[in-house]
Amino acid sequence: MHQFNAQVEELAAAILEYSLERLKSDPPLDAPKTEAELKELAGETITESGMGGIAALNLFKEVLAPACISTDHPRYLAFIPSAPSESANLFDLVVGASALYGGSWLEGAGAVYAENQALAWLASLANFPETSRGVFLQGGTIGNLSALVAARDKARKTHPEIEKWAVITTSLAHSSIYSASEIMDIELIKLEDSYKLQETINHYQSKPKHGICAVVATAGSTNLGIIDDLISIGIAANKNHIWFHVDGAYGLAGLVSEKVRPLFVGLELADSFIVDPHKWLFAPFDACALIYKNPKDGKDAHTQHATYLDTLNQDDEFNPSDYGIQLTRRARGLPFWFSVAAHGTKEYEAALDHTMDIALQAAQLIKEHPNLELLMEPKLSIVAFTRKGWELSDYENWSDTLLSDQIAFVTPSAHNGVPILRFAIVNPWTQISDIKIILDRL
């Protein structure tokens, strides 16, 4: 049935060889090129007769891949890097080769079972009840949006008289919360002080037909790794019967480490939370775990109905597509499941602790550095600092040169309107010697 002829065999060998080589060796940092440069180098790639698999692979190897920054390079410390374990990356090849459908139990029971095991582990670390359930979605943006849509759906059903809904969040909120409120066409209220939550709820809900459908807290801000006061926010949300969502796309990976797990007390008060295994849990792009305390809330909001789908909805089977904004679904949680299943949770904890240890050592080196000032002690694995006397353009020029010299990828950010540098350390291959190489250039 499969047309695995000699030509395809040759391509298979070449692709596996390339993939293994990429996984085994230290990747070059690389850098982007302009569209004009790529046009010059790669030309038109889509033709009537095709260029053949080997030629297309060579084009990727020689032209396209070097125009992509290696996000798993140990000195890629910008944004949030990617650091998939070897086993997660290798298993991603298996997921790709297996044509798995991860949307329904009927089609993907085995894959869904394994994904659910990984989700149950995360739920247990969060002190969520055993009845909680979730789904792996594309990323934190879709995860937050899916949770907030479920929150509003429930609020609407409970309070059909309300016409104007709002979400309250804190100053740590990620841009995806703003984007979700735009998509949902609801108001977003930014809380300056989490102790003002009750007052803010009262004020908004005293207006006729106005209601708060969710309160969102951040567990590990993307810029600095700061955690909201989950206890006081959670208590106030629960008392007012308002959905409490915790965005931990980056930071909630910290649940795996006994050392920092206490920072997340209060998470158990949430109705839903997210964490991205593609950030600090050693899984490849792209996967966000969204977990609901009461799974029915997710299902009521997200199940799609159509004559051709109704056969999926007749039994009580667990269909991942019912829990987020998606229908067709890659079993995108499987590389993460495989990695945890293979390594065990202890090794996960050790890898996380190692990244936090490097962050602390980096902070110490920054404090000792004559030209640098540490912004704050790292809470998780993000280290933020400033260079004395530098303006934004100095930071930008330094960052550009660092990349063009193929040393590292570190980009400027800002805090309270002041430009800063930050290292996001999620890669267990990042060593203190890597940090020193960068600090020497400051």
Ligand X SMILES: *Cc1c(COP(=O)(O)O)cnc(C)c1O
Give the footprint of ligand X on this chain (CB under 6 A): 80, 139-141, 174, 176, 218, 222, 247, 249-250, 276, 288
3-state class (DSSP) for residue 350 = helix
For ligand X, the closer of residues 151 and 439 by Cβ is 151
Cα separation, 117 vs 122, in Å, equals: 9
Report the nearest approach of ligand X to the CB of residue 41 (Å). Answer: 29
- Transcribe 319-338 into DSSP letters: -GGGGSS-SS---TTHHHHH
Two structure tokens written together for 147: 């949770």
What residues are paired with 419 via a beta bridge?
A: 414
For ligand X, the closer of residues 141 and 146 by Cβ is 141
Cα separation, 73 vs 58, in Å, equals: 22
Strand ranges, E, within 132-271:
133-137, 164-170, 187-191, 210-218, 243-247
Q: Which of 242, 259, 112, 256 is nearest to 169 (CA)?
A: 242
Two structure tokens written together for 208: 């006729």
Report the nearest approach of ligand X to the CB of residue 248 (Å). Answer: 7
Report the nearest approach of ligand X to the CB of residue 283 (Å). Answer: 12
79-82, Cβ contacts within 8 angstroms, sequence gap of 24 or more: 79/222, 79/411, 79/424, 80/222, 80/250, 80/279, 80/280, 80/424, 80/426, 81/424, 81/426, 81/427, 82/278, 82/279, 82/284, 82/285, 82/426, 82/427
Report the nearest approach of ligand X to the CB of residue 177 (Å). Answer: 7
For ligand X, the closer of residues 137 and 212 by Cβ is 137
Which residue's Cβ lies closest to ligand X? 140
Burial 158-185 (b: 16+ CB within 10 A, else e): eeeebeebbbbbbebbbebbeebbeebe
Cα separation, 126 vs 117, in Å, equals: 14
For ligand X, the closer of residues 82 and 116 by Cβ is 82
For ligand X, the closer of residues 275 and 365 by Cβ is 275
Cα separation, 192 vs 433, in Å, equals: 39
Cα separation, 156 vs 357, in Å, equals: 46
Report the nearest approach of ligand X to the CB of residue 196 (Å). Answer: 22
For ligand X, the closer of residues 410 and 439 by Cβ is 410
For ligand X, the closer of residues 84 and 211 by Cβ is 84
For ligand X, the closer of residues 181 and 218 by Cβ is 218
Report the nearest approach of ligand X to the CB of residue 126 (Å). Answer: 16
Distances 221 to 35, 61, 199, 269, 355 between C-alpha atoms, Å: 33, 36, 24, 19, 17
Residue 316 burial (CB < 10 Å; 0-12/13-18/19+)?
Answer: exposed
Report the nearest approach of ligand X to the CB of residue 273 (Å). Answer: 11
For ligand X, the closer of residues 219 and 340 by Cβ is 219
For ligand X, the closer of residues 186 and 226 by Cβ is 226
For ligand X, the closer of residues 18 and 178 by Cβ is 178
Sign, CA torsion 430/431/434/436: positive
Report the nearest approach of ligand X to the CB of residue 125 (Å). Answer: 18
User: Do residues 413 and 384 lie in contact, with contact meaning Cβ atoms separated by under 8 Å?
Assistant: yes
Report the nearest approach of ligand X to the CB of residue 265 (Å). Answer: 18
Report the nearest approach of ligand X to the CB of residue 234 (Å). Answer: 17
Report the nearest approach of ligand X to the CB of residue 338 (Å). Answer: 20
DSSP annotation of 24: H
Sign, CA torsion 93/94/98/99: negative
